[in-house]
Every structure is written in structure tokens, then in C-alpha cells.
């Protein structure tokens, strides 16, 4: 199998200059992480708050450049791309963040939020409206929503719009960073189902990030567990769930809500 996404020895260290001390405090947010994701599969990434999940997500797409390590997407090493090449490659991979309220500009009608993303994806102006309607339809919304502002939508609807926008450039790889954590439990399942439908329909590959291991186990083909920036567990979902190597994995599973645990 040629992996669609491969990550080799990825590290990210933040150094904060202290005003009072001459030394620099270093936070090793991600340490020497390696994994691979096959096309059209879902890798789940779990770990408690502060374990480095979001840092890993940003470093993976070089939104924040990694301190060391290599990332390949569709065989292309991202570090060797120039700025233009990276911008083009980023259309193939998108991140959906936890907070849909912060992700949408409150002053922009939905058609402009989507229009901007379509423009960035190189869609000619005359085609943008039709494509925006199509994007909304994919996430279960309609053309009547185009003229509205974000405040007119519920949290779940906003996350649908954020997902629609992420699809503007026809990406192949989505990083979903706590995509349902800010939503009511009753809405979470709807968004998860939508994400599963979209994956099937477009043959997408996901990195699905959550602090909730039972949710991760519900959707994932393979699972990685981050603890203090290290990948302490990684393997096929069945194996990680049935025979976890680390005590931390067990504790994380016990700490997560029971709703998805029937798998």
C-alpha cells in the first residue's frame, strides 16, 4: 500500500522568549511523530487537552512549519514545495476546526464566505454561485441560505457551512480537529453522519481528531494516541481498542462518554 498521507519524525517546538530571564522556554508540543494514512480511510487521533493534537494538525499541512520531520501528501514532500506550490497543494488538504463560530466572518453573507473559498480554489466568477449552491446542497442546506449572515444559523448549521467551504477546492484529505466538540450531543451524530457520507461520496481521506476516544473509535480505521506530544499508541483501530499498549489509552477510553462505546 502506498500511503496517501505519510508523516515521518514530525516535531514541533515552540520557544517563547521570556522578558525576565535570558533563557528561552521550549515547549515540545509534538515529538518525533510518524504515521501513515491509506487513501479513503480514517485515522483517528486522540489525546487529552494540551497533548499536541492541534499543533500536529497545523504542522502536518505546514500552516505552522514543523521543527523537523517530513510530510508527504500523495507522494509529494511538502517541505520541498515553494510558497506557490504549497498554496496549490493546500487545496488538496483542508482543516476543519472545532469552533464554527470563530471560523466564519460574522460580517460576510454565506455566499461571500463560500465565494472567497471558491475564488481561492480558482473557480471563475461566473461559476461561483452555482458551485456555492452545490456546496450547500452537499451539506444539507439550500440556496435560500446564501444571503444570510452566520448569526442566522445554529452551531450545527454553521459547522455544515464550514465543511461546505472546506470542500470548495475539491480536497482529497481533510483534517477534522474536534469537529463536533462544540456542538450539542444531539447534533453531533448528524455532523458525523454527514462527514461519513462525504467521505464515501468523494473518496476522501480523514485525520479525525478528538479528545473523546470513544468517538474516535467509532469512526476510525486506524488510531493514534498522543500523550505530551508523543504518539504512545498507533495501529489498526481493532488492535488499539482490544489490546492497548499503554495504560494512558485505557484511561482515555474510560474517561470518554459511553455513547459510542458499543463498537
Ligand X SMILES: Nc1ncnc2c1ncn2[C@@H]1O[C@H](COP(=O)(O)OP(=O)(O)O)[C@@H](O)[C@H]1O
**Footprint on this chain of ligand X (rule: CB under 6 A):** 14, 16, 27, 29, 47, 49-55
Residue 55 binds which entry of Mg ion, ligand X, none, CB below 5-8 Å type-dependent: ligand X
**Closer to ligand X by Cβ: residue 62 or 109:** 62
User: Least Å distance between CB 168 and Mg ion?
Assistant: 24
CA distances from 91 to 29, 122, 170 (A): 26, 10, 7
Residue 186 binds which entry of Mg ion, ligand X, none, CB below 5-8 Å type-dependent: none
Rounded distance between C-alpha atoms, residue 151 and residue 100, angstroms: 11
Q: Which of 11, 51, 54, 188 binds Mg ion (CB under 5 A)?
A: 54
User: Least Å distance between CB 96 and Mg ion?
Assistant: 12
Residue 47 binds which entry of ligand X, Mg ion, none, CB below 5-8 Å type-dependent: ligand X
User: Least Å distance between CB 103 and ligand X?
Assistant: 16
DSSP E strand boundaries for the chain: 5-17, 24-37, 42-46, 68-73, 76-77, 93-96, 173-177, 205-210, 222-227, 230-236
Measured in whole angstroms, the distance separating CA 11 from the mean position of its chain's CA atoms is: 18
Q: Which of residues 183-202 bind Mg ion (CB under 5 A)?
A: none
**Start-to-end Cα distance in the chain:** 26
Residue 3 binds which entry of Mg ion, ligand X, none, CB below 5-8 Å type-dependent: none
**Closer to ligand X by Cβ: residue 51 or 256:** 51
Q: In what order do the strands lie in the sheet with 5-17?
A: 24-37, 5-17, 68-73, 76-77
User: Least Å distance between CB 224 and ligand X?
Assistant: 12
User: Least Å distance between CB 207 and ligand X?
Assistant: 13
Contact 136, 146 (CB under 8 A): yes
How many residues does this entry show for the chain? 263
Binding site for Mg ion (CB under 5 A): 53-54
Amino acid at each position: 500500500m502506498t500511503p496517501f498521507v505519510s508523516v515521518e519524525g514530525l516535531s514541533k517546538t515552540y520557544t517563547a522568549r521570556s522578558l525576565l530571564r535570558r533563557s528561552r522556554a521550549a515547549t515540545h508540543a509534538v515529538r518525533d511523530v510518524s504515521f501513515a494514512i491509506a487513501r479513503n480511510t480514517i485515522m483517528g487521533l486522540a489525546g487529552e487537552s494540551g497533548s499536541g493534537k492541534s499543533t500536529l494538525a497545523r504542522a502536518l499541512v505546514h500552516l505552522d512549519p514543523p521543527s523537523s520531520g517530513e510530510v508527504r501528501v500523495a507522494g509529494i514532500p511538502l517541505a520541498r514545495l515553494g510558497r506557490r506550490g504549497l498554496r496549490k497543494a493546500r487545496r488538496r488538504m483542508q482543516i476543519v476546526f472545532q469552533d464554527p463560530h470563530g471560523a466564519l466572518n460574522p460580517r460576510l453573507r454565506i455566499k461571500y464566505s463560500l465565494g472567497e473559498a471558491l475564488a481561492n480554489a480558482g473557480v471563475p466568477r461566473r461559476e461561483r454561485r452555482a458551485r456555492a449552491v452545490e456546496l450547500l446542497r452537499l451539506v444539507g442546506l439550500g440556496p435560500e441560505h446564501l444571503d444570510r449572515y452566520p448569526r442566522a444559523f445554529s452551531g450545527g448549521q454553521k459547522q455544515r457551512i464550514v465543511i461546505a467551504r472546506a470542500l470548495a477546492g475539491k480536497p482529497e484529505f481533510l483534517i477534522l480537529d474536534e469537529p463536533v466538540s462544540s456542538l450539542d450531543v444531539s447534533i453531533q451524530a448528524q455532523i458525523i453522519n454527514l462527514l461519513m457520507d462525504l467521505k464515501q461520496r468523494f473518496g476522501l481521506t480523514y485525520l479525525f481528531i478528538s479528545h473523546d476516544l470513544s468517538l474516535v473509535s467509532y469512526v476510525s480505521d486506524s488510531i493514534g494516541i498522543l500523550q505530551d506530544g508523543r504518539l504512545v499508541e498507533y495501529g489498526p483501530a481493532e488492535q488499539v481498542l482490544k489490546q492497548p499498549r499503554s495504560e494512558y489509552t485505557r484511561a482515555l477510553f474510560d474517561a470518554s462518554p459511553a455513547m459510542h462505546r458499543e463498537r
